[in-house]
């Protein structure tokens, strides 16, 4: 029978894909995000002998000597354990197949998996609200002013409609959604890109800006999803890619991947996440088009490609929800 100090605490969380509304969500506009299960982070925590140790993809050694890029995680560990008396030292192993800085929610997933593993190790209950507060420590290091969409999606089982500061609504898809996600030839620089958008948006003087237009497209996109009109959803995704170009967050390779996907029949395609490098997401009408997109993106030198189907979910009942200007009837339910 393991004692508390030989026990291993374990935690897991998955990646995310933002279908609509990245960047605009930081400024109070809505986003639609999807849990991205093909990639995930797993963390194991156990007692260590002489000092705190961290093992992850690119660092193995004492926690106190870990690089600055891991500061969010080290701070998170110290906050969680400050009221714990035993054991004095921890060994933390992080295994993640989510490419960091590719817009797929690596930092949020690692933070969620780490907090879950620490709480499992200490046998403490972990309310969702507390988990989100702790994840926010790491997310603030990664994004500066996180909207919270990555954190919410990393711990959600359903696609989400998210507005900063509000409880997200789970979106139930009326039909399966065929996705292709592809990593471009360069990582994104999340913090730099977010700062640049912030700097540029100070110069927007009227009500019709890339940010407000992205918000409006996201509102239209959730209606298209509700109606099962994925053709319209795709059109809005492609249109929003153009606005993200206007915001200055795309790259030539991201644009070329979007164009290639559209060229073989994608219903829509756009960059996903903060951009400045990173990944694209495309949607397809069926498996056949999905395969064609995978093929053409491989030829266009995407460095990793995932094809996945987000299942339809008939479980949830219709509710009325208020978004923006109108009250829409759709398949959503509140998340607590």
Nearer to ligand MEV, 164 or 292 (CB): 164
Scan residues 163-222 and list those touching ligand MEV (CB under 6 A): 194
Rule CB under 6 A: say whether 33 interacts with ligand MEV: no
Nearer to ligand MEV, 213 or 292 (CB): 213
Among positions 9, 72, 146, 215, the unique one binding ligand MEV when judged by CB under 6 A = 146
Nearer to ligand MEV, 36 or 119 (CB): 36
Asked if residue 297 lies in contact with residue 181, where contact means CB atoms within 8 angstroms, the answer is no
Rule CB under 6 A: say whether 149 interacts with ligand MEV: yes
Nearer to ligand MEV, 18 or 90 (CB): 18
Rule CB under 6 A: say whether 155 interacts with ligand MEV: no
Give the C-alpha separation, 152 to 335, whole Å.
Answer: 10
Phi-psi map region of 275: left, alpha, beta (phi>0 left; psi -120 to 50 alpha): left
| Greatest Cα-to-Cα distance within the chain, rounded to the nearest angstrom | 66
Tell me how far, at minimum, the Cβ of 190 lies from ligand MEV, in Å.
Answer: 6
Nearer to ligand MEV, 119 or 161 (CB): 161
Rule CB under 6 A: say whether 150 interacts with ligand MEV: yes
**What track of x and - describes contact with ligand MEV for positions 1 through 30 (by CB under 6 A)?**
-----------------x---xx-xx----
Residue nearest to ligand MEV (CB): 147
Among positions 40, 251, 274, 279, the unique one binding ligand MEV when judged by CB under 6 A = 274
Tokens of 200: 């540029």
Helix (H) or strand (E) holding 97: none
Tell me how far, at minimum, the Cβ of 133 lies from ligand MEV, in Å.
Answer: 16
Give the C-alpha separation, 218 to 320, whole Å.
Answer: 18
Nearer to ligand MEV, 22 or 170 (CB): 22
Among positions 40, 46, 91, 147, the unique one binding ligand MEV when judged by CB under 6 A = 147
Nearer to ligand MEV, 130 or 198 (CB): 198
Nearer to ligand MEV, 63 or 181 (CB): 181
Give the C-alpha separation, 145 to 139, whole Å.
Answer: 8
**What track of x and - describes contact with ligand MEV for positions 84 through 113 (by CB under 6 A)?**
-------------------x----------
Q: Beta-carbon neighbour count of residue 253 at 10 Å?
A: 18
Rule CB under 6 A: say whether 243 interacts with ligand MEV: no
Asked if residue 11 lies in contact with residue 120, where contact means CB atoms within 8 angstroms, the answer is yes
Stretches 76-84, 87-95, 139-147, 286-294: which one binds ligand MEV (CB under 6 A)? 139-147
Cβ-in-10-Å burial (0-12, 13-18, 19+) of 198 comes to middle
Per the omega criterion (within 30 degrees of 0), is the bond before 87 cis? yes
Beta strand 31-47 with 90-96 is: antiparallel
Provide the 3-class DSSP secondary structure of residue 87.
coil
Among positions 159, 215, 273, 276, the unique one binding ligand MEV when judged by CB under 6 A = 273
Rule CB under 6 A: say whether 52 interacts with ligand MEV: no
Q: What are φ and ψ of residue 155, in 5° steps?
A: -115, 15
Single out the residue of 163, 160, 82, 167 nearest to residue 128, CA to CA: 167
Q: Beta-carbon neighbour count of residue 317 at 10 Å?
A: 9
Distances (CA, A) of 207 to 110, 118, 204, 213: 37, 45, 8, 9
Residues in contact with ligand MEV by CB under 6 A are 18, 22-23, 25-26, 103, 143, 146-147, 149-150, 194, 273-274
């Amino acid at each position: 029978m393991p004692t508390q100090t030989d026990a291993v605490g374990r935690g897991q969380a998955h990646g995310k894909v933002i279908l609509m509304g990245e960047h605009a969500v930081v400024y109070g506009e809505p986003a639609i995000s999807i849990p991205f299960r093909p990639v995930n982070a797993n963390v194991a925590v156990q007692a260590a002998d002489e000092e705190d140790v961290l093992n992850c993809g690119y660092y193995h050694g004492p926690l106190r000597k870990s690089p600055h890029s891991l500061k969010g995680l080290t701070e998170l560990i110290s906050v969680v354990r400050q009221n714990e008396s035993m054991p004095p030292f921890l060994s933390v192993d992080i295994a993640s197949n989510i490419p960091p800085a590719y817009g797929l929610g690596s930092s949020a997933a690692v933070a969620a998996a780490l907090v879950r593993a620490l709480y499992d190790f200490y046998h403490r209950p972990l309310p969702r609200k507390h988990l989100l507060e702790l994840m926010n420590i790491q997310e603030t290091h990664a994004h500066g002013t996180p909207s919270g969409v990555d954190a919410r999606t990393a711990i959600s089982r359903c696609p989400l409609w998210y507005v900063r500061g509000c409880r997200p609504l789970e979106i139930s898809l009326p039909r399966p959604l065929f996705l292709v996600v592809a990593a471009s030839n360069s990582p994104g620089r999340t913090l730099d890109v977010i700062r640049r958008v912030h700097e540029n948006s100070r110069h927007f003087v009227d009500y019709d800006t890339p940010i407000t237009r992205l918000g409006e497209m996201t509102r239209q996109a959730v209606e298209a999803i509700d109606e099962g009109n994925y053709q319209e959803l795709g059109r809005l995704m492609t249109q929003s890619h153009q606005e993200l170009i206007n915001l200055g967050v795309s790259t030539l390779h991201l644009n070329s991947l979007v164009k290639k996907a559209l060229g073989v029949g994608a219903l829509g395609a756009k960059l996903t996440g903060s951009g400045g490098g990173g990944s694209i997401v495309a949607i397809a009408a069926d498996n056949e088009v999905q395969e064609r997109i995978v093929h053409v993106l491989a030829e266009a030198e995407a460095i990793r490609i995932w094809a996945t189907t987000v299942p339809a979910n008939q479980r949830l009942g219709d509710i009325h929800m208020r978004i923006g200007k109108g009250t829409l009837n759709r398949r959503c339910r509140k998340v607590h």
